[in-house]
Amino acid sequence: MLNHQASLDLMFAALADASRRSMVERLGRGSASVKELAAPLSMSLPAVMQHLRVLESSGLVSSAKTGRVRTCRINPAALRTAEDWIAVRRADLSAQLDRLGTYLENS
């Protein structure tokens, strides 16, 4: 449970940056090299590598090097963990609204 909380901490922190989100958006459409990830971003390759490290530490992204090319991809299971946390809150909110509706109907 502690690990789960720590994972969520790292994932949400990784997503709290527009450049890192744009890297995840790109990877959602297919795996990409670091160079391809960097192309639309106006920042140095070391800066992109730094963001990549944050994404990798969070588990959201993994990468593997073949020859000189490092290919990055999303880890779908990690993304689902973050999505699930929010989805449960939304389900709770819907249940709240349902209870309110029932209350108003019966009052």
Q: How far is the CB of 73 from its own copies (least distance, A)?
A: 9
Phi first, then psi: what are they for 43, rounded to 5°?
Answer: -150, 165
Q: Quick one: 68 or 92, whose CB is closer to its own copies?
A: 92
Q: What tokens appear for 51 in the block?
A: 């963001």
Distance between CA atoms of residues 14 and 8, nearest Å: 10
Q: How far is the CB of 32 from its own copies (least distance, A)?
A: 12
Q: Which residues contact 10 (CB under 8 A, 6 or more apart)?
A: 57, 58, 59
Binding site for its own copies (CB under 8 A): 5, 8-13, 15-18, 21, 24-25, 28-30, 74, 76, 79-80, 82-83, 85-90, 92-93, 96
Q: Quick one: 13 or 69, whose CB is closer to its own copies?
A: 13
Q: Quick one: 64 or 86, whose CB is closer to its own copies?
A: 86
Distance between CA atoms of residues 8 and 54, nearest Å: 13
